[in-house]
Amino acid sequence: MTLMIKDNPRQIAVEIIQRVFSQKSYADILLEKALAKSNMMLKDKALCTELVYGTIRWKMKLEFIVKRQFRGKWDKAPEPIKWILITALYQMLYLDKIPDYAIVNQAVALAKKNNINGHWGGVVNGILRTFVRDEKTKDIPGHKDKVEALALKWSHPGWMIQKWTDTWGSDKAILLCKANNRRPNFGLRVNPLRTNREDLLEILISQGFDAQFSRYLDNFIIVKKISGLTESEWFKKGHFSIQDESSALVVQLLNAAHEEKIVDLAAAPGGKTFCIAEQVADKADIIACDIHRNRLKMLIRGRKRLGFLRVFPILSNCMMPGLSNSFDKVLLDAPCSGLGVLRRRVELRWHRQEKDIDKIISVQRKLIDQAALLVRPGGCLIYSTCSIQPEENEEVISDFLETHSDFQLERAESFLPASVVTPAGMMRTWPDIHGIDGAFAARLQKKE
C-alpha cells in the first residue's frame, strides 16, 4: 500500500485495519501513532477512530455480508479493496450521520486512489449500491449450528461463544457479546497530589466533555470520549491518568499503606503502579518490575509526568531470590487471555486462539508460586487478571491455596463494593453487568 494519506480518515482507517490483521498489530498503538502524524481536525480523528474500532469489532458479520455480494474469489481481491468495502459497510449499518451516497462516493474514491487495477472503483461502486438498494434491511440468515449462528450475528469467534455457553449458558454468552460490541466509556483517575476530582470535573464539563463521577471509585471521573485529552495541559501536568475502573478496584483491594514495601510484578506500562502511589500519596517504596524494556520506558515517562519519587522501575521478572519474604504487599497482575477486555482491545477476539489458554494458565501458576516467595509473614499477595475465565481465576487460586498452607484467602468485601465481590469473597467485574472491563482479583494473606 501507499504511505498514509495524512488528511483522509477513511484511508488511514483502512491502512490501520489492514496492518492489524496482516501483522497482528495492536489497533490502539497504530491509531495513536497515525493520528499524531496527521493534520486532521478533531472530528476527522474521531471518525477514523470509530472506523478502526467499529470495523474490527464487527469484522465477521461485515465480511459475511460483503462476500455475499462479491462476484469472484474473495481471497484474490486486493486487501485494500476488501477493507474499503468492509469499512463502508460499517458506516452504512452502524453510523447514522453520514448518508449512504456519501459513503459510496468516498469508498469509490479510495478504491481509485489505491489503484491496483483500474476496474476496482467500479466493483466497489456496484457492490455498495446493490447493498443499499437490496440488502441493507436484510438480517443475517439462520444457521443450523446455534453457536455458529451466534458467532456470526455478534461477530465473535465460535470457540469463544462455545466456551461461554458451556460455562454460563447461551443467554450469558449473548450478553457478553453485546457488551463487547459496545463503545466503552473511559475512566480518568484523578491524581490527588496535583488536583481534586471536583475541580477536574468542572474543567472537563467546561471543555465540552460528557463527564461524571464514578459509581465505584471516589477518585475516578468517567467520560464517553477522550479525544484531545492526552494533549491537554492537565494531562501533561499529571492531573489525571486514563485507566479502567476495574484496574483501580484491584489496587483498592491491595489497600496499600504509608511506608510499606510494595512490589508490582509485570508492572508496565504503570497503571496499577501509579494508582498505588496515589493511594499512599507517594509515601511508600514501590518496586515496579517488568521484563519488557520498551514498556518499562513508558512507565518511566509516566512516573515523571505524575511526579512520583518513590516508584522504582526495574527490568526484571518475578524471580528475585535475594528479596524473599521482603514485601508487605505483592501485586501480580498475571498474563492472561484478556477475554475480559474485548470491548477495548478490539483485535484480541481475532488474534487470541483457544489453544493459547492452557499455555497461559501454566505461566500463571508458575508466576503466582514465585510471587508468593516475596511476601513477608503477615503481608499479602494480590493475584489479578483481565480475564473472565474461571480456569484463569478461581481455579488458579483454589489450586494455589491447596499447595500453600501458609496462605489464606482474605475476603474482598472489607475493601470493595459488594457488587463486585463474589460469594467466595473474590473480586470479579463483568462488562455486561458493571459496564467496566471484565477482571478478577483475590487477596491472599500470608500467615504470621
Q: Examine the domain organization and report whether 287 and 422 are in the same domain.
A: yes
192 assigned to some structural domain = yes
Rounded mean pLDDT, 213-226: 96
Catalytic choice (48, 275, 318, 386): 386
Q: Examine the domain organization and report whether 353 and 233 are in the same domain.
A: no
**386 part of the active site:** yes
Indicate the burial class of 112 (C-beta count within 10 angstroms; 0-12, 13-18, 19 or more).
Answer: middle
The 3-state secondary structure of 116-172, one letter per residue: CCCCHHHHHHHHHHHHHHHHCCCCCCCCCCHHHHHHHHHCCCHHHHHHHHHHHCHHH
Rounded mean pLDDT, 12-30: 96
360 assigned to some structural domain = yes
Domain span at residue 38 reads: 9-135
Q: Examine the domain organization and report whether 301 and 433 are in the same domain.
A: yes
Q: What is the pLDDT of residues 60-114, one digit of tens each?
A: 999 999 998 898 899 989 999 999 999 999 999 999 999 999 999 999 999 988 8
140 assigned to some structural domain = no
118 assigned to some structural domain = yes
If phi > 0 it is left, if psi is from -120 to 50 it is alpha, else beta; for residue 259 that is: left
82 assigned to some structural domain = yes
Rounded mean pLDDT, 431-438: 98
Q: Examine the domain organization and report whether 304 and 436 are in the same domain.
A: yes
Residue 297 has pLDDT above 90, yes or no: yes
- How many Å apart are CA 305 and CA 317, to the nearest integer? 25
Task: Please count the structural domains in the chain.
Answer: 4
Q: Examine the domain organization and report whether 14 and 131 are in the same domain.
A: yes
Residue 3 has pLDDT above 50, yes or no: no
Q: How many CB atoms lie within 10 A of CB 197?
A: 19
Label residue 138 by pLDDT band (50, 70, 90). low
pLDDT for position 21: 97
436 assigned to some structural domain = yes
Q: Which domain-ending residue is among 135, 169, 200?
A: 135
Burial 413-435 (b: 16+ CB within 10 A, else e): eebbeeebbeeeebbbbbbbebb
Residue 196 has pLDDT above 60, yes or no: yes
Q: Which domain-ending residue is among 100, 135, 170?
A: 135
pLDDT for position 322: 81
160 assigned to some structural domain = yes
Q: What is the pLDDT of residues 233-279, one digit of tens each?
A: 999 999 999 999 999 999 999 999 999 999 999 999 999 999 999 99
Q: How many CB atoms lie within 10 A of CB 86?
A: 22
Q: Examine the domain organization and report whether 234 and 380 are in the same domain.
A: no
pLDDT for position 319: 73
- How many Å apart are CA 332 and CA 235, to the nearest integer? 27
pLDDT for position 349: 98
375-385 and 220-223 beta bridge pairing: unpaired
Q: pLDDT over 70 for what percent of the chain? A: 96
pLDDT for position 119: 83
141 assigned to some structural domain = no
Four-point Cα dihedral 282, 287, 291, 293, nearest 10: 50
Q: What is the CATH number of the domain that holds 238?
A: 3.30.70.1170
pLDDT for position 2: 41
Q: Examine the domain organization and report whether 260 and 391 are in the same domain.
A: yes
Q: What is the CATH number of the domain that holds 114?
A: 1.10.940.10
The answer to whether the CB of 351 falls within 8 A of the CB of 162 is: no
Rounded mean pLDDT, 172-198: 97
C-alpha cell at 137: 434491511
